Amino acid sequence: LYNAFHEGFHKVCGGKVLQLFEPNELQAMVIGNTNYDWKELEKNTQYKGEYWADHPTIKWFWEVFHELSLEKKKQFLLFLTGSDRIPILGMKSLSLIIQPTGGGDDYLPVSHTCFNLLDLPKYTNKEILRSKLIQAIDHCEGFNLV
């Protein structure tokens, strides 16, 4: 299996271009950056409409998010961006936008992957937010480059 991968990889990406990269750079290009700096993501997030960093719904969102397992957080990235990988330059180059949406407790969060935009209803409590967020990320499908 490795030989087939090796042969195919060198057929497509071989030649002098490989000499331009260090092994860790090639790894980052193939599998993505693995430095998941979740606090950086929070710091770079922008808010629209009635939301701001200290809005109760936003505070609940980040509390719930930081309590999620690594796998659930990666699923959230898939839900939000269409990929569970972070950019080569890291979380600082990933800008999330959260905006309020109508519907309240009966509605799930909705993502717009082309814009890294999250429509987040104003839930009445943190547990409902947790339940709806997990339900949304558990039932999403992304797209992959490979």
Set out the domains of the chain in order of their start, with CATH numbers.
1-31 (no CATH), 36-139 (3.30.2410.10)
Q: What are phi and psi of 86, to 5 degrees?
A: -100, 155
Q: 78 with 84: CB under 8 angstroms?
A: yes
Report the chain's mean pLDDT, rounded to a whole number: 89
**107-125 mean pLDDT:** 97
Q: 129 with 107: CB under 8 angstroms?
A: no
Q: Is the dihedral of CA 14, 143, 64, 97 positive or negative?
A: positive
- Please say if the pLDDT value at position 64 is more than 90: yes
Please list the active-site residues: 114
CA distance from start to end of the chain: 17
Write down the pLDDT at residue 136.
97
Look at 24-38, 43-57, 89-103 and tell me which has the smallest mean pLDDT: 24-38
